[in-house]
Amino acid sequence: MRDPARFSFAHGGKDGHPYPVNREVYDQSIDWLREAVSKPLIQNALVVFREEGYLEQLPESKLTLSQSFANVEAASTIEGRLTGFCEFVS
């Protein structure tokens, strides 16, 4: 994006200029941007977890915990690491 000010005109202004904010469009844009940022982070995290042996790929393209990590402590570790990947996306 060359000019960030132009992006602000796409959604209107809080003060109603150049037109009032359309909350539905604004919320859809936020959701789209959040997904655009978080989806690759989660996909990268899953790749790392597979490579490190935490997860196994099942034939139907589903992921499952490896047998050696199928316990509460390992699940907690994975959850903490995944949170670290996505910390800034909220």
pLDDT 10s digits, 44-78: 878 888 888 888 888 887 888 888 877 888 778 87
> Which regions of 1-90 does DSSP assign to beta strands (E)?
55-57, 63-65
Domain range annotation of the chain? 9-85
Q: Report the predicted TM-score, pTM, of the whole model to 2 decimal places.
A: 0.49
CA 5 to chain centre: 25
Those residues with Cβ within 8 angstroms of residue 20's Cβ, 6 or more apart along the chain or in another chain: 12, 13
